[in-house]
Each structure stands twice: as structure tokens, then as C-alpha cells.
Structure 1
Amino acid sequence: MRTKQAMELFTLEAMQKIIEQKKAIETPFLSKYFKTQIGHISPNVAIPIKKSENFILHAISKSASAVLSEDSEEILMKFEVPRFAQEGTINATDLNELKSFENGGDLPKALSQKIAEIITNHKENYVLTQEFMAVGAVFGRVVDGKGNVLFEVEVKNKAGFNAQKTLHNSFAEVYDSFSKNLGYHPEFDLYVSRELYEEIHNKATEEGLFKINQAKLEKSSMQIYGINIIPYVASYRNKSSKRDVQFLSGKTGMAIPNTQGIFQLHYSRAHHTQALNLSAQKFFAAKPEELAQGRGYCLHTESNVLPICVRPDALVKLEWA
């Protein structure tokens, strides 16, 4: 079998199977919180946001989404799902190496491995970008994956920590906030700045919680009264100010409920002619296209997604004051 004949085996359907079967890497936020996933044919989507007096939406970017309608229960907002595309090449050198398989029966297998290698790399890049966007959504921002903040949520639900208040009472404020806005106590984690992490650690030591086994240190976090407290120091590059901005700064943090329906991942159909008759998919891979002048084959992939928090009233801001 010649290389060109073998390449024809990789139809659109075959390519979709390859990209779908490649297991996505596990990520701390995307994998944990964004289990509700909704597909759309069009990249222009209308997403209802639960209305509440416990948060304020601030439009940051000129390209921010528009409010389509609003009532006492929800705000219907229009978003454009960001598009991410990559191209890989099986070049002339690769093809020459593959020719050694033409006289045997292993050419399709060798070609499949080469294609899978490129697609795996693409998929990992997509997932890492989506993780960055998911972090923004969890901490109250709608970001487009390129450092542009479209919307920022000013969370009014707050729980305070200070030297005079016991940690038990501070955690009770978090529980009360969840109970008020969700109607129940969900499992949750506290993501905090390094500064707040140190204050809570010192407070737990002062209260003797480590001695009575009500607090313990983990590899990169600590647990108090069964609640995970995780320091988070990552930042994003703000395109307008050209500065790195921490998601959590000062002595602040966020209590994040681990329950379905609060965070959603919206995805739309690929912007590619080969995708016209397909349903929306999180990851798309087109069949290989032959390049001119014997330069090889081009592999095009896409992933168009938007992670978003549709219940900002469920977030609880943490502050040391």
C-alpha cells in the first residue's frame, strides 16, 4: 500500500474517533467543576445567568457579551464561543520515513501513530487553555483564553476571617451563605491566596487544632474541620494593561461548591467546511489535506469552548480583615 492510499483511510469519521479516544489530561478545575457540558451549532449562544442581589456583573471589554433579556429570576446573556484552532504537518521528511513501511502491512499503523502524536499534542494544548478559562470562571471572571477579561463578577457573599474570630465561626459563615443561596450545604473547597493561607494556618496553630487532629497538613494544602484549604497563586496576563494579574491577591480567597449546575462548559461546532454536517463537538479533527508541491499533509484541529459560572450567587468571597 502506498502512502497516499493509506492516508485516504483517515476519513473524517476516523479522525473524529482518534481525537475523541485520546484521553484528555486531568486538570484541577476543568475536570472537577465543569461536568455540565452543553453543545451548540452556532458560536453565538444565549446563556441564562441566575439573578441575585449577591453579585454584580461588570463589563470589562468592548467585546463583552450583551444582555438579551432580564427578569426577576435570570439574566439572558449573549456570548460568542471563542475559537481555538491548530495545524500540524506530516512533512516530506516524515513521508520519506513512512515509505519504509509501504512494502509491509504496517503502513496504516505507522501513519496512525504519527497522526495520533500530532492530535494528542493539540488536544493537550486545548485542555490547558480551557483550564485557564475555567479558573477564570471559578474565580468570577469570564475570560477568552487570551488574557482578555470580558466580564468580572463582584461577589457580595462574604465570609470573614480575623484574629478575634475562631475558624469554626468563619467556616460557619461560609456554610450559612451556601445554605441561604443554594438551600443546602454542598461539599466545597477553599482556594486562597498565599497570604490568606498563612493567616489561616497560623490561626489553626494558635487554636491548637493540629494538636487535637482537627487540622492537618497535606502535600500542598491543609485540611481544617474536614474542609480543604488550597493555596492558589496563578496569574493571567492582562492584555490591556500588559501586566500579570493574580486571580487571588492580598488576603483573599473563594469558597467553591463542588456541585453540578453552577459551572457549565459551552462548546460550538468547528468553523470548518468539513464540520458543516456534524453536530457540535468539544474537539474536532479534519481529515488530512495534501499540501502543494509535495510538502506533505496538513492536519487541522479545533476546539471552541466557553467555561462559565451560571450561579455567581453560589460563590463566597473570603477575606482576612
Structure 2
Amino acid sequence: MANVLNLFDNAPFSAVALTASVNVVPNAYGRLNELDLFSDEYVPTTAVMLNIDRGVLNLLPMGSRGGPASLGRPGTQRLEAFVIPHIPHDDAVLALDVQNRLAWVPRGDTAGELAAGQDLIESKLITMRRKHAITLEYLRVGAIKGAILDYDGTVYMDLFARFGVTPKSVDFTFGTASADLGSKCREISGYIEDNLMGDTMSGVMALCSPAFFDRLVTHASVKEAYKYFVATQNPLRNDLRKGFIFQNITFEEYRGSATKLNEDKSTSVQRFIPDGDARFFPLGTTDTFTNYWAPPDFWAQTNTAPNPADRVFVAPLEPMEFGKGMKIHTESNPLPLCKRPSVLVRGFSSN
């Protein structure tokens, strides 16, 4: 058998190599990443300052040629600082984890080599990156809900309060057979269009909890439209939960969730969109959804905007006391923001 690489000889990877190892893992950030909803902005600070402008569009009076023009008046504006979350995560590989462990080999290869220390480190890094990825999806869902939450559900940032916006909710009253859900959809689309405040959009989307989606497509005022939609979409081939268009709104069942560690050390499943809810937001905007990225908490990268390729940072390996193993430190520093929370709508049913 081949010799086992000494895990403790000169730290197997540099910080650059470790970060590169993390970055080869596919970006499994979830549905909001696939939608490309958020533009990315990389900043050299740990907070961003936004100018919240309440400009008013008013009609202009006609005037005579050569005469005085009407004067513009400054809109109401204020500066608001938004602190970018810092999300550190530590793990370790112990000598005990490596000792006597066989390396993975391709099917049919019976070499049976012992595992090398860096194999376990890379495996740990993959898992750590995936934890950062699902956390980013969770924060982005918070941004389209208007409230960015910490891991335990506590509110980190209430976007409606920060931007001075009253949240908009629409009751679909699924329990009422005569309810006109088409008019409710048109109400939502019109509300979003009216609140773009200078931005543009290509459409409206709703990410729905499974319960909301099921009650929507089985409601009397939608069932006929859903039947014809199904007929043209080849339901034997396509998963129709991934996009049902009704009243020009794309409804999609969203099952995003993660394991939550409770205070008593037990675990529970935390759905990103509460059961029975749907969240409506515009697609194709240019300046409404932005993901800000701050530099890591590393000496060499202070006051330096991060590289777009480095969204999850890895510190150099740190040997444990008495050479018992290696400590691994990763972190990410994202702030997904909806800068026009007035375009966000909650859908629910009171019956």
C-alpha cells in the first residue's frame, strides 16, 4: 500500500489553492440563482450606503419660446447604511479521521490505497461550501420576502421598515369557490408595475409553497385554465409545478428548505417560504435586486473588494495543538437586497 501523506507536514494547501478547491464545486445556490434575479456588486467595505430617493414625477406646464422654464424641485432623499452579514464557519480534520481510512478509487480499481489527508480536507470543504450556498439561497428568499432572517428565524433586516414601505398582501380566499383569482393576479401585477419607480420588468413570478400551489391549480376559477395549460405542456414529460402561467404570472412550486438546529440540539426542517404562502416579485429588472459582497475578515484583504470568483473564502489551514489535526475556516459575506421592496407582494389564503 502507498504511504499516507503526512497531514501535518507544511499544511497541504495554501489559502489560494484551498479557495480554488472550493470554487470548482458547482454553484448549487438554488432557484433564485438559476433565475439570475440578483446582480452582483463587490465592495471594499463591510457596509453599503444607499441613497433612498423619493422623487416625484409631476406634469410640466407649457411655456412660450424664449420665456422662463419651470424649475425642478429636489426629491426627498436620505442615506441609509446597510451592514453586510458576516458568515464564518469552522470545521476540522483530525488525525483520527484519516487513520486507517481507505481512499476512494474508481469502480473496478482494487488498489486499496489509504486515504490522504488532503482528500478529507477537500471533502470537508465541499460540504462547507454547500452550507454557504444554501445559506445564500435562504438570504435571497428573505430579500424577496422583505425580511432577511438569521439562521434561527430572527429578523436581521426588515427591508420594508428600512425603506419606509407598507407591505402588500393579497388574500386569495381559496376556500371561497366563487373567488375571482384572475382579478387578484391582475391586482398584483398592476401594483408591481406602479411601484417599479423607474425600473423595468419582463414579467411577474410567484414562488409558492406546495400548499398554496396545490390550492391555486385546483380552485374553480383556475382549474379550467390549468387543464388547457397541462394539455399543451405534455405532462408525461414536463413537471408542471416548475412553471404554470396564469394571468401572465408564472407560478412555480418552491420547496426550498434546510435543516435547522434547535436550542435543545434537536433538528427540524425550515421551509424558506412558509406553508400556505406565495411570494410575488418582478423579473428582468435592472436595478431592483442587488447582491453585495464584502471582503473577508483576513488581514491581506482588508478594504479590498473581493474577486467575483471568490464568494466563499478559505483561510490557511491551522494546525491543532500537539499536531492532532487541522482546523479549517471558511466565510462568506453576502447581502442580497431588494432596493424597491414596494414591488414585493405576499399571497396567502385566509380560508
| TM-score, normalised with respect to structure 2 | 0.66
State the distance in 2 between where 1:249 and 1:6 align: 49
Counterpart pick for 1:175 among 189, 192, 196: 189
Higher strand share: 1
Cα deviation for residue 125 of structure 1 reads: 0.9
| TM-aligned CA distance change 1:119 to 1:312, over 3 Å | same
State the distance in 1 between where 2:22 and 2:276 align: 42
State the distance in 2 between where 1:14 and 1:41 align: 23
| TM-aligned CA distance change 1:131 to 1:89, over 3 Å | same
Q: Could you say which residue in structure 2 is the equivalent of 1:255?
A: 280
State the distance in 2 between where 1:39 and 1:28 align: 22
| TM-aligned CA distance change 1:52 to 1:126, over 3 Å | farther
Cα deviation for residue 124 of structure 1 reads: 0.7
CA displacement 1:221-266 (0-9 Å, x = unmatched): 66243643235577898x9xxxx99876686533122224322222
Q: Which moved more, 1:263-272 or 1:223-232?
A: 223-232
Q: Could you say which residue in structure 2 is the equivalent of 1:309?
A: 338
Cα deviation for residue 294 of structure 1 reads: 1.7
Cα deviation for residue 120 of structure 1 reads: 0.6
CA contact under 8 A between 2:7 and 2:325: conserved in structure 1?
no
Matched, 1:144 2:147: no
1:253 maps to amino acid: A
CA contact under 8 A between 1:48 and 1:310: conserved in structure 2?
no
Map of 1:127-276 to 2, 5 A cutoff?
127-152=133-158, 153=160, 155-157=166-168, 161=172, 164=178, 166-182=180-196, 184-192=200-208, 196-204=212-220, 208-213=224-229, 218=239, 220=241, 223-225=244-246, 227-231=249-253, 253-260=278-285, 261-273=287-299, 275-276=301-302
Matched, 1:289 2:305: no
Q: Could you say which residue in structure 1 is the equivalent of 2:131?
A: 125
Map of 1:8-19 to 2, 5 A cutoff?
8=11, 10-19=13-22
1:118 maps to amino acid: K
State the distance in 2 between where 1:251 and 1:291 align: 48
SS at match of 2:280: strand
State the distance in 2 between where 1:17 and 1:250 align: 38
Cα deviation for residue 190 of structure 1 reads: 1.6
| TM-aligned CA distance change 1:168 to 1:293, over 3 Å | same
Q: CA RMSD in A?
A: 4.2
| TM-score, normalised with respect to structure 1 | 0.71
| TM-aligned CA distance change 1:312 to 1:206, over 3 Å | closer
Q: Could you say which residue in structure 1 is the equivalent of 2:23?
A: 20
Cα deviation for residue 203 of structure 1 reads: 3.0
CA contact under 8 A between 2:189 and 2:204: conserved in structure 1?
no
State the distance in 2 between where 1:249 and 1:8 align: 44
CA contact under 8 A between 2:29 and 2:134: conserved in structure 1?
no
Cα deviation for residue 284 of structure 1 reads: 0.7
State the distance in 1 between where 2:200 and 2:89 align: 43
| TM-aligned CA distance change 1:9 to 1:253, over 3 Å | closer
State how many pairs are aligned: 293
Q: Could you say which residue in structure 1 is the equivalent of 2:43?
A: 40
| TM-aligned CA distance change 1:158 to 1:298, over 3 Å | closer
Segments of structure 1 that go 5 or more residues without pairing to the other structure are 54-70, 101-106
1:44 maps to amino acid: A
CA contact under 8 A between 2:87 and 2:333: conserved in structure 1?
yes
State the distance in 1 between where 2:180 and 2:346 align: 18
Cα deviation for residue 139 of structure 1 reads: 0.9
State the distance in 2 between where 1:112 and 1:95 align: 9
2:39 maps to amino acid: T
Cα deviation for residue 119 of structure 1 reads: 0.9
State the distance in 2 between where 1:129 and 1:26 align: 8
Cα deviation for residue 21 of structure 1 reads: 2.3
State the distance in 2 between where 1:301 and 1:166 align: 50
Cα deviation for residue 279 of structure 1 reads: 4.1
CA contact under 8 A between 1:34 and 1:265: conserved in structure 2?
no
| TM-aligned CA distance change 1:96 to 1:147, over 3 Å | same
Query: Structure 1 vs Structure 2: percent identity of aligned residues?
Result: 19
CA contact under 8 A between 1:39 and 1:267: conserved in structure 2?
yes
Q: Which moved more, 1:122-131 or 1:89-98?
A: 89-98
CA displacement 1:146-196 (0-9 Å, x = unmatched): 422034326555556465554443333233223323365522222345564
CA contact under 8 A between 1:81 and 1:305: conserved in structure 2?
yes
Cα deviation for residue 289 of structure 1 reads: 1.9
SS at match of 1:42: coil
SS at match of 2:30: coil
State the distance in 1 between where 2:99 and 2:153 align: 41
